Structure 1
Amino acid sequence: MTKWMVSHEDIEAALKDVEDSLIQEDAEEDALLVQAGADAAGVFGDGDESEGPDDVRVGLMSLADIPVEEWDSIAVSPLTMFGDGLWDFTCYPHVAAKGARLNFDYVNALDFNITTQRFVHWLRISKALLFYQVPHFAVSVWIRSYGAMATRKTRLARLFHLFDEEFLYLGGPGDTGFRTINDLSVQTVLAFIENLPTPGAKWEMAWTLRYWRKLSVSSMLPPQYAIHDEYVDKATVGRYREAYDNASTPFSPIPLDDYAEVVDHCLRWVNDYGDDVLWLFRTFFRSVVGEQAAKLRQDSLSVNSRDGLAVFAAYAPALVDGIPWWPLGITTKRSDGTDYLDPHRIMHIVASFVDACCTLILATTGMRRSEVSNLRSGCVSRTAEGPWLSFTVFKTSHASQGDAKVIPIPEPTARAIELLEALSQEARMYGGLDYLFAVVAGHHFGNRAHLAYPERAVKRVARITGIDASIHPHRFRKSLAMYLIYQDPRNIELIRQLFSHKSLKMTLRYILALPGVHTEIKQIIIDQNVALLTEVVGAVFNNKIGGVAGLRARKTIEESAIFKAKLQDAGKETLVQYVESMLDQGISILHRTNLAICMKTPAAAEPSPCGHRFLAEATELHPTLYACDPLNCRFAVFTEKHIPVLENEIVFHHKLVAHPYAGEQQKAFSERVIKHAFARLREIDSDHADDFLRKVANG
């Protein structure tokens, strides 16, 4: 072991270094994804935030072609007219009803109601912008969720703050002093954005202005409600979005309710709708992928052919409340009265399904984005124990080709991957590649999906389910790490959906071995245990440690080949390596007990390691102090700080043994305590222990 002493300040600095290096691993992965650029972009590339004006779909209903006075009579859903104070989309598939209802008739944060006559233009503008966010009127193929309508309304409401500050759109368009956004300079608008209080508000405002501009240049809005100047370009919106992402907390665990909501959504797509999606895609393959690749599936049908419509009408998809789950039906063209299926709507369904599959993989494995993006065809195999996933772990800091890993996965995850395999079969053939995530439609058919696709898929699923918009693939890994540390049985309902009880422990053991999840666990341990870790690491490093767990930690370090190779560097690098080795040996959440440091903190409702086997389970997170017997416990660590209490324990029981009223049972117990306490004392400092023994023997 080492011959020099280190201070607690040195150890705390080393802990900080390790923590920073763990965070840096994800930063390096982010950098690699940025370097990939847009060369791999495709249908699963940019979401609705990144689309330019030329992304507006043709053939849409244009509000510019309808007199403003007649807008109120437009049916925005079977339940709602444009002029209603509440837009209701609950007749369409949705997760939460609150997200599928839009209320305009209320007093807002600026203390006014936009349904009053004074704010009639504000109401029309907000409804017009929202109109093109309704999936069946949407300008973008990426807008496909009715359950996220309320979130979109909140984003667009940022405009009211600008209107109020600059007195815009008040009165009549022909009135003197009637001002529109076109009366503002670019500098004024940009200054307004910069003065908004949060990065999220700045991004939402910039995004809304660009979206408004996109509709305007595409002639989707009448002149009085159009925006003429380009106040923000795509790069500016991207910069605000990056600042928003950087300011969010992507490394915090996902609340259990949100985690369950996401998993339920994904399981519904995979288990209930997966076969329908695959049938829909294969049946109308030629209309979705384009003529250049249509020959890959000669038996596919056209969306406007008689045979195609007949096959669709005869097909029986899964039902939700007695009606088909998908927002798809035969539509009649106004121009010539012919019937057809909307291919964009089909692609919406397919893309939503792929998003759900990707998110389920992340939620059940803890894999990094780069690992998911690099999954290959044939990555799932089956044994008597169940499905297994083969993939490559990339060590970005070493620029290696990665290490092959095989882990067990839940059956729903295996099904999701197998459905993706079938869905992208022709795309892989066409592009001559074997990536699981291949672009299955559009101009990039057959290309590899964008390397940042997993992150965008997760964010879209988050918006659809109405949970925290800052959800990030890293957060699934953090959540799994927290479960692995605490083994909190409150998670059992979620876990039961994913893993059989038979395979749970094996699966968690393999997941724990993944560098990404293990990294998260080490981060959590450092965050919550700085003081105790400092004491334990210092004790091991300075060879002043005792206890079964303490000796186990020291032995692990001494046998570490990596650590031995660095022992000649008697400085900070060695100390950092020492800390990393300590963490790698499996320290969990620590706590102080009556005589020692315990390396096993029980979770809520988990039996204490020192409790009697017939003892009722604890009801809250705490050590069972009255049952704690640390002197010979496999979870106990003793350091120099425990020498006085060990000495007191020895003296106390030495006096008990000598007391004339002590019974044989008490004497046997006290002698056992003395033996174990002295053994711990000798482990910490043998010379001091020998001196103390002589003092006790001499009275």
Structure 2
Amino acid sequence: MIDLDKYFSIESLQKDLDEAANEEFNHILETTGGKISNSAISLSTKISEHPDHNFPVSDYSSYNDDMWLLEYTNGQNPVKIHFYEEDEQYNGLKRVLLYYSIPDFSVFGTIKSYNTVKPYLTLFNILISYVFKHNHLSASDPSDIGCITPTMLNEALDRAKLNKDAPRHYHSLFRMIRLWISLSTQEVIPEEYRIDIDLTYVDNKKRRKDVVKHFQGTVSTWIPFSENELAQLMDYSLFWLENALPKLMNVRDYLGGLNLVKNSDAPFASWEKNEEFENLTNITINEINVMCSNRRYDKTRLENCSKPYYYSWKNQYAIALDHIRNSLFILVGLLVGMRAREMGQIMLDDIYKDNNEEYWINITRFKTTNDPNYQGETEVIPIPYFIGACVDSFRHLKSLSDFNKQGYLFQSNKSRKVLNNFTPGQIRLITDEIKQFTGIERIHTHRFRKTVAEMLIRRSEKNIDLIRMLFGHESYSMTLKYIARNPFMVNSIAEAIQVNFTEDFHEVIRNIRDESYSGKSAERIASAIIKTPEKFVGKQLKLQIMNYVSHLLSSGEMWFIHRAAIGTYCIHSGEIKIDNLPPCLIGKKNLGHSLSPDISNCQLECEYCVVVEKAKKAISDNIHFYHSVLGSTDSISKKSEAMIRNKLVANEKHLEALNVNHHKVKKALKMKVVQL
């Protein structure tokens, strides 16, 4: 079993969450302000050229339509924006602000997806609610917009901050106000919708620090890639690793045999056009240019009795290598689960194959510390065979000429700078390239780690097949046993479980600790609390939940928790087999291969059922009901009678356990304190 206390501290976990939150918050800043490109055509210009507002916003709609149909994809809901008649006083401002959320017209950051428009609809409604409706202002009246002051905006932000029922409103409102002021200041929206307020009145150090702090405490930093985004990442990565890499290996071996000079260009010269060189170094797959070489004829060289045909290839080869690097970055991020700092320190030689044909990676972990001389600690963890084999090929590609450079796995192959230390800036260059070639926004290492963890939790058929393919395992349980050897992935999955099931699991723990409980899983949790009570309070609770989950993962088991009824929970671990179904799935058709409990049909006689104090009255009522049914009629069938008696026995057992275990953990903890 992996002891997460050894690998992760509360401080390091909190730092990880803060870094993820900061990445997300930086995305907010990038997409709502900054310098607008000179090549961008502003909405103000378009409207001045088309006073009737009849110009396209997509292939399907014009600016003045009552509905913008932005994108229509088969099998998916179309992306639409409605401008309802009853909201006429807000529709003008809605058009000018949401116009800039459309990828084709985005002037801040890099909005690539039409789906991004959907969140902006919510953001706009928040702006209207806090700024306009609260102050009884109309967004269609320029004099009303002119009445808006910095004080009004800051008061709106303060009200949003205090809204406990909608904690996301604070940073959402900040985001929309920032966008509105930025567009107004740069005069890219019509004058009647501009707000004449200096951005620093709202977006200053004090406010930004407060928004970031609130953002970290309220917004879920658990934002995995969507299925569509993951498909784009995998299409890009697997194209370069499965299709392009073998072709590049042929190029490398061919170029290696030419003994080209190891200088900045390493050109190839020939007395005549060299078809073999051109055929091997010009690669196109599925209409994608993998690599090309450029031929030049130099008459001066011929006059000097030198080969006049001059081929350059090195820069194109370097670009192809960076695509391979990006692809490996995606897979390592997904399947190894490291933080950005750990990924940056990986050297080519840190990945190797042992005598059993298994691949391993040396990871340098950096704990939270103020010691400037701390160099980290090295751990060895397994990596999927596919990644290891691709790294071996990548190492061979880089052995040509001077591409080994300083030996970092993820350093740029195009850059000629000496890299003495891998900084977060280098990671951002990689994620920016991946963003450029896949069209996916908000790419950072936290999202990679969390995506596979989320897939393991969701366990859809499609996701499980992808997991098996990536890890090279036929069985789901074998993949989990493999993951159990990697503390980074255990950490990510345990955190995924905590994020998905925090409320339910915390309630179970509180009831077991402070009230009563019944069920096998509850007994295990009670024993853990009694053994280490200090870990089940405050911040330590999170780490202990992750430790508890790691016990299950180390046995190759997945974990599931969900509220079934008042005071009743399903806590299931392991893989459900078709020949050993829990009561909730017996008799159901078309179950598929990757099974999860059916909460809507939870049965108290199930061994995975956990019952806490709140269920006591319901169980008592059930027992009374079952006795009444059994004693009131003789016409009941033997099958029905047997079923009712089974349910009666299950309810009576849980009620007895609830009575026996009432304050059992509390009493044990008090005895432990006395003994101490």
TM-score normalised per structure 1: 0.55
How many angstroms does 1:687 deviate by?
Answer: 7.8
Relative to structure 1, the CA distance from residue 555 to residue 335 in structure 2 (aligned partners, 3 Å threshold; closer, same or farther) is: farther
Shift of 1:482: 0.8
Return the alpha-carbon distance in structure 1 between the equivalents of residues 178 and 220 of structure 2. Answer: 13
Please state how far the C-alpha of 1:464 moved relative to its aligned partner. Answer: 1.0
* 1:64-143 equivalences in 2 (<5 Å): 110-111=46-47
Q: What displacement does 1:319 show?
A: 4.0
Report the equivalent of 2:511: 539
Q: Give the 3-state SS of the residue equivalent to 2:319 in structure 1.
A: helix
Correspondence for 1:330 among 295, 305, 310: 295
Task: Map 1:319-468 onto structure 2 (within 5 A).
Answer: 319-320=284-285, 325-332=290-297, 339-341=310-312, 343-376=314-347, 377=349, 379-381=351-353, 387-392=358-363, 394-397=365-368, 401-402=376-377, 404-411=379-386, 413-425=387-399, 435-437=408-410, 443-444=416-417, 449-450=422-423, 452-466=425-439, 468=440
RMSD: 5.6
Q: Tell me the matched-pair count.
A: 482
Residue 581 to residue 302, structure 1, CA distance change in 2 (3 Å) = closer
SS in 2 for 1:330: strand
CA gap of 1:23–1:549, structure 2 versus 1, over 3 A, is same
Alpha carbons of structure 1 residues 283 and 598: separation in structure 2 relative to 1, 3 Å: same
Task: Provide the rounded CA distance (Å) in 1 between the counterparts of 2:251 and 2:49.
Answer: 45
**Higher mean C-alpha deviation, range 443-452 or range 500-509:** 443-452
> Which one scores higher on RCO, CA 8 angstroms, separation ≥ 6?
1
**Aligned CA distance change for structure 1 residues 457 and 202 (closer, same or farther; 3 Å):** farther
CA, structure 1 residues 537+626, in 2 after alignment: closer, same or farther (shift >3 Å)? closer
Cα deviation, 1:299-324, whole Å, max 9, x if unaligned, reads: xx624555996652252665435896
Give, in whole Å, the separation in 2 of the partners of 1:530 and 1:281: 51
CA distance in 2, matches of 1:513, 1:459: 31
2 CA distance for matches of 1:519 and 1:200? Answer: 36
Select which of 649, 653, 658 maps to 1:675. 649
Report deviation, 1:271: 1.7
Shift of 1:351: 2.3
Q: Which residue of 2 aligns with 1:24?
A: 15
Which secondary structure does the structure 2 equivalent of 1:397 belong to?
coil
Confirm or deny: 8 A CA contact 2:516 2:661 kept in the other structure: no
> What SS does the corresponding residue of 2:362 show, helix, strand or coil?
strand
Q: What secondary structure does 2:294 align onto?
A: coil
Whole-angstrom CA distance in 1 between matches of 2:637 and 2:340: 66
Q: CA deviation at 1:457?
A: 1.7
Q: Secondary structure at the match of 2:237?
A: helix
| Partner of residue 315, structure 1 | 280
The structure 2 residue matched to 1:644, chosen from 606, 613, 617, is: 617
Shift in CA distance, 353/390, structure 1 to aligned 2, threshold 3 Å: closer
SS in 2 for 1:615: coil
1:302 counterpart = 2:302: no
> Counterparts in 2 of 1:223-302, with a 5 A limit?
251-278=222-249, 280=251, 302=267
Give CA deviations for 1:665-690 in whole Å, capped at 9, x if unaligned: 6555444434332322232232879x
**Does 1:596 find its partner at 2:568?**
yes
What amino acid maps onto 1:417 in structure 2? V
TM-score (norm 2): 0.56
1:379 to partner: Cα distance: 1.8
Unaligned runs of at least 5 residues, structure 2: 1-8, 23-38, 51-101, 110-173, 186-207, 302-307, 553-558, 664-676
Structure 1 residues not aligned, in runs of 5+: 1-17, 32-101, 115-150, 159-194, 207-239, 295-300, 690-699
Contact map agreement 1:303 1:343 (CA 8 A) in 2:
no
Tell me how far 1:525 sits from its aligned partner: 3.8
Q: Deviations over 1:178-233 (max 9, x none)?
A: xxxxxxxxxxxxxxxxx996889999999xxxxxxxxxxxxxxxxxxxxxxxxxxx
1:15-59 CA-to-partner distances (Å, cap 9, x unmatched) read xxx99974422547999xxxxxxxxxxxxxxxxxxxxxxxxxxxx
Question: Deviation at 1:547?
Answer: 1.5
1:490 Cα offset (Å): 2.9
Given candidates 470, 483, 504, the residue that maps to 2:455 is 483
Question: Which is worse superposed, 279-288 or 413-422?
Answer: 279-288
1:591/1:598 contact within 8 Å kept: yes
Distance of aligned partners of 1:340 and 1:536 in 2 relative to their CA distance in 1, 3 Å threshold: same
**Cα distance between partner residues in 1 of 2:296 and 2:327:** 27
Distance 1:326 1:285 in 2: 16
- Per the TM alignment, residue 254 of structure 1 is displaced from its structure 2 partner at its CA by 0.7
Q: Aligned partners of 1:267 and 1:528: how far apart in 2? A: 30
Indicate the residue corresponding to 1:616 in structure 2: 589
Deviations 1:380-410 (A, max 9, x none): 32677x7433332625236684352433415
Q: 1:201 to 1:373 in 2, by over 3 A?
A: farther
- Contact kept in structure 1, 2:450 and 2:493, CA below 8 Å: yes
Identity %: 15
Contact 1:557 1:582 in 2 (8 A): no
Contact 1:481 1:517 in 2 (8 A): yes
